Amino acid sequence: MKEAFYQKLKSIIKDNQIMMEEPLARHTTFEIGGLAQFLVLPETASQVAAAVKLCQEENMPYYIMGNGSNLLVGDKGYQGTVIKLSRAFSKTTIDREQYIVRAQAGVLLSGLAEEAAEQGLAGFEFAAGIPGTLGGAVTMNAGAYDGEIKQSIVKTVVLDQTGGILKLNKEELKMGYRKSIIQVNKYIVLEAVFCFSPGNKEDIKNKINELNARRREKQPLEYPSAGSTFKRPAGYFAGKLIMDSGLRGYQVGNAQVSEKHCGFVINKGGATALEVKTLISDVIQIVYNKFGVVLEPEVKFLGEF
């Protein structure tokens, strides 16, 4: 079946865009994860649609990923096809007169924030230190430092489960805290359009530098991680709950609750996915036992652990 599927993949995607038994640790910011049966790098929306359709027809599990910045992949890997939207989907166009920015799903948020700043466009400074790509950020309405994607997004272009292309405006996206209709309907983001505000280029860059300095001071950026590990529970801060539960520095193998910021689970070096997952489960249970608050992981889990 594997060889037959590979031959069918080659009929829609070039051979050099297909990797077999690819270590997903190379594609995640946690630097953890076993082998993907297939990893494909489509270059066009039609290739994405064709790959998804093939997976559906062949009953092949598939997963859409960007920079892998919010993903924990199991040590035993993923018996399916990972469709990665990266460099081929990294085009950005800017209408300086209308303050409109159109960007594809593979654009890094940090790069987009810097590009907007260079054009004197304000409103995306919060995203400069987020390590993900635009597709995932729109899907989950990513945010930081009181900023969220929904504040400036105008519309997005997605693929639905049948391969059809849809254009969704801001209201249709139904964005909330770390959620959107894209997650509910399992759409695939292709590109998004934003409207920013005119501003002074130096002021915008200074704000980005200030926020990045705050990140370096307060977050464990020196270690591999998936960023903030837990969603913010209503009325609380996950990091404080974890700290107040006595879990600062709590460790399972080489996975650790960061001593610098308890909201982060880090890979101290050579941590396994199972160690990280076990630690996350421990934190959830201990916090619940102490405070009666259920923490929900922000990180996504993929594959076999």
Domain spans, the chain: 2-84, 90-203, 220-302
Pick the CATH number of 2-84 from 2.40.40.20, 3.40.50.150, 3.30.43.10, 3.20.20.210: 3.30.43.10
Closest by CA to 233, choosing from 189, 277, 191, 287, is: 287
pLDDT, tens digit, 9 for 90 and up, residues 273-283: 999 999 999 99
In whole numbers, what is the pLDDT of the chain averaged over residues? 96
Q: What is the SS3 string spanning 219-246?
A: CCCCCCEEEECECCCCCCCHHHHHHHCC
Report how far residue 57's alpha carbon sits from residue 51's, in angstroms, rounded to the nearest whole number: 10
What does the pLDDT read at residue 146?
A: 87
Three-state secondary structure call for residue 169: strand
Residue 227, pLDDT score: 93
Q: Of residues 152, 178, 180, 245, which has the active-site annotation? A: 178
298 flagged as catalytic: yes
pLDDT of residue 249: 98
With cut-offs at 50, 70 and 90, classify the pLDDT of residue 97: confident
Alpha-carbon gap, residue 255 to 178, rounded angstroms: 25
pLDDT at position 1 over 80: no
> Could you say which of 228, 245, 258, 275 is catalytic?
228
What is the residue-wise DSSP string for 28-46? STT----EEEEEE---SHH
At residue 122, the pLDDT reads 97
Task: Encode pLDDT of 204-248 as tens digits.
Answer: 999 999 999 999 999 999 999 999 999 999 999 999 999 999 999
| pLDDT for the residue numbered 181 | 97
pLDDT tens string 119-162: 999 999 999 999 999 999 999 999 989 899 999 999 999 999 89
The residue from 22, 114, 275, 298 that is catalytic is 298
CA distances from 144 to 125, 169, 177, 194, 227 (A): 10, 22, 11, 17, 11
Q: Judge whether 228 counts as a catalytic residue.
A: yes
pTM above 0.85, yes or no: yes
Indicate the class that CATH gives domain 90-203: alpha beta
- Point out which residues pair with 153 in neighbouring strands: 194
Q: Tell me which architecture the domain covering 220-302 has in CATH.
A: Alpha-Beta Complex (3.90)
